Structure 1
Amino acid sequence: MLDVRRLQVLRAVVTSGTVTAAAAHLGYTPSAVSQQVAALEKQAGTPLLERVGRGVRPTAAGLLLTEHAALIGSAVAQAESALADLRAGRTGTLSLRYFATAGSTLVAPALARLRVEHPGIRIDLELADPDDPVQDVLRGRADLAVVVQPRGRAGDGHRVVHLLDDPYAAVLPEDHRFADRDVLDLHELAGEQWVGSEPPGPCLEPVTDACSAAGFTPDFIVKSEDYATAQGFVAAGLGVGLMPRLGLRAPHPGVVVIPVRNPEPIRVISAVARETSLGQPALRGLLEALREAATARPAG
């Protein structure tokens, strides 16, 4: 295999016309340059230079390798430039996983800011369940995930960055006996029939845990995993529900939304990234944009 460094030495000799001039250009001694050329000739199995007066000129083989050395040098320069752009966050791809209610409120404005600050970055978006994307991040299939999980949970080579606390509110039919209340104590809904809006997992747990703390288990008679559909069920009088504020930004006209307390269920929305990926400027920029979006759009 031909030595790339020796190819560049040969190119310097050919373009300079003499070993001495090439040595001055490269910062080598003439003897070192001659040794490099001799070693390359041994690798090539044929002479690469011939003397002409006080200088040298390439043989056919020497001219061939000089041309390829120029191509290699150009390719290396392009690779170095591309690497510098990637390190600086000017180019590259970021893979982002998110769940539905975080899409319009957090992800969309964050990506708009990232596009301004890092216009050369391509974003690979994928909608996922609120807790599943953590494994994609840990296994390197995603760079960042917006998830629902407890604040401060870290370890296993990943970092959890808190974005916002998203409180749940009571969703009642507009003709419900509590419809004119400013706030409800959670235990007041103990005897109601319930409309479920969450699948099993981190979004349902705050509801069931809060109801348990209030002394009852909700009686889910209808279940939906879509907030718009669940609100439709509530509006039809099929039951009451607890839904997060991010899922209630477009309330159904037939429902009322009332804060609850004692206790108030809250889901914690965070961003998860691998520790080893946090050195990427574009990834750090996306995290900062998500934090800014969360601050600009408080859940309550």
Structure 2
Amino acid sequence: MLDVRRMQVLRAVVTSGSITGAAANLGYTPSAVSQQVAALEKQAGIPLLERVGRGVRPTEAGQLLSRHAAVISGQVAEAETALADLRARVTGLLTIRYFATAGATLVAPALARLRQEHPALRLDLGMTDPRDPLTEVAEGRADLAVVVRPRGRTREGVRLVHLLDDPYRAVLPAGHPLAAKRVLDLTDLADEPWVRGDGPGPCLDPVIEGCAAAGFSPDFVVESEDHTTAQGFVAAGLGIGLVPALGLTNRHPDVVVREVRGPEPVRVIQAAVREASSGRPALRSLLTALRDVAAR
């Protein structure tokens, strides 16, 4: 069987017209080039070069092998290019989990961009478990989850990537006396009946903690599980509420929204990434898209 590397040495000799020239181009010694050609001639069973003055020229067999060496070199280059394209291509399946308000405002536009840039990518989308949003990522059943920063230590094998800080706003019925103020102190709401827009968990925690820092505990008279419904109860005059800014993209026409301070509750939205998947081009592209959307 002919040695492909020796064929490439022969091609270098034919191209340069001399053993010395081929050695200089390849970074070999002239004797090493001569040994490689001699070994190839032994494999081929026929002379491949003949001396002409101070140089050499290929025999008919030498020309034949040199042409095939050029073809092989081109095919290797094509294979390397194709392999590099494959490594860089964003393909396969991404399993993504998210919570409701992040789905509409962050995940959907990020995925629209991702699909446009990488149409071969397949997506598995679903809601996070509000009680334990990191489990699927930690156990390898999801590659990424958009979450509100959980309390305490993160799970092993999970890395949290900051996306944005989402401040809470006071939502009041139209005509409420406090609507005359441009910015409310949190203590202004201490004696009001409250409408809750989140269940217990990391989205409600900033509200509870903010009120505690202001010296009171909110009196929840209505409980709901989404911000749209909560705004409906507020508009009906049943109470006031705190809703994160992302939850106000579909604002009810009969409510007034005001900033709050002293303190301003904020929920921190992050991407929980499975560390074992963090090197995937698809996941890196998704994180870039999420960060770009969050920045806007």
TM-score (norm 1): 0.69
* Pairwise CA distance, 1:194: 0.7
Amino acid at match of 2:94: L
Task: For 1:254, give the aligned amino acid.
Answer: D
User: How many angstroms apart in 1 are the aligned matches of 2:194 and 2:252?
Assistant: 17
> Is the 1:186–1:262 contact (alpha carbons within 8 Å) kept by the matching residues of 2?
yes
Question: Quick check: 1:197 aligned with 2:183?
Answer: no
Instruction: Give unpaired runs (5+ residues) of structure 2.
Output: 7-38, 40-79
Aligned-partner Cα distance in 2 for 1:283–1:224: 34
**Matches of 2:240 and 2:141, distance apart in 1:** 39
Structure 1 position 148 matched with structure 2 position 151:
no
Identity over aligned pairs, percent: 63
Match of 2:208?
208
1:98 aligns to 2:98 (yes or no): yes
> Relative to 1, partners in 2 of residues 1:287 and 1:251: Cα closer, same or farther, differing over 3 Å?
same
Separation in structure 2 between the aligned mates of residue 208 and residue 168 of structure 1, nearest angstrom: 12
Residue aligned with 2:156, SS: coil
Aligned mates of 1:215, 1:159 — CA distance in 2: 34
CA distance in 2, matches of 1:267, 1:243: 10
Equivalences for 1:246-265 in 2 at 5 Å?
A: 246-265=246-265
Separation in structure 1 between the aligned mates of residue 130 and residue 288 of structure 2, nearest angstrom: 20
Aligned counterpart, 1:74: none
Q: 2:244 maps to what in 1?
A: 244
Contact 2:185 2:260 (8 Å CA) reproduced: yes
1:171 aligns with 2:174: no
Distance 1:223 1:263 in 2: 23
Cα distance between partner residues in 2 of 1:198 and 1:178:
23
Deviation of 1:133 (Å): 3.0
Rounded to whole Å, the distance in 2 between the matches of 1:230 and 1:158 is: 33
Tell me the secondary structure at the aligned position of residue 220 of structure 1.
strand
The offset of 1:151, in angstroms, is: 9.7
**CA RMSD in angstroms, aligned pairs only:** 2.6
Question: 1:151/1:208 Cα in 2 relative to 1: closer, same or farther (>3 Å)?
Answer: closer
Aligned mates of 2:281, 2:235 — CA distance in 1: 47
Q: Tell me the TM-score normalized by structure 2.
A: 0.70
| Distance (Å, rounded) in 2 between the aligned partners of 1:151 and 1:281 | 30
Distance 1:83 1:206, change over 3 A: farther
Q: 1:29-178 counterparts in 2 under 5 A?
A: 87-130=87-130, 132-149=132-149, 154=154, 156-178=156-178
**What is residue 64 of structure 1 aligned with on the other side?**
none
Ranges in structure 1 where 5+ consecutive residues have no aligned partner: 1-21, 30-79
* Cα-to-partner distance string for 1:18-42 (whole Å, 9 max, x where unaligned): xxxx455698x9xxxxxxxxxxxxx
Between Structure 1 and Structure 2, whose CA radius of gyration is higher?
A: 2
Q: CA deviation at 1:89?
A: 3.5
Distance 2:151 2:285 in 1: 21
Structure 1 residue 234 displacement after superposition: 0.6
Given that 1:233 and 1:239 are in contact with CA atoms closer than 8 Å, whether structure 2 keeps it comes out as yes
Paired residues of 2:197 and 2:223 also in contact (CA < 8 A): yes
Q: Shift of the alpha carbon at 1:130?
A: 4.6
1-structure distance, mates of 2:135, 2:231: 31
> Offset of 1:90 from its aligned partner?
3.3
Contact 1:150–1:268 (CA under 8 A) maintained in structure 2: no
Counterpart secondary structure, 2:179: coil
Cα deviation, 1:270-289, whole Å, max 9, x if unaligned, reads: 00112221110110000010
CA distance in 1, matches of 2:197, 2:253: 17
Q: Do the aligned partners of 1:198 and 1:225 also contact (CA within 8 Å) in 2?
A: yes
Rounded Cα–Cα distance in structure 2 between residues aligned with 1:292 and 1:153: 27
Judge conservation of contact 2:151–2:202 (CA < 8 Å) in 1. Answer: no
User: Aligned residue for 1:228?
Assistant: 228
Paired position in structure 1 for 2:183: 183
Superposed displacement of residue 129, structure 1: 3.9
Displacement of 1:117: 2.5
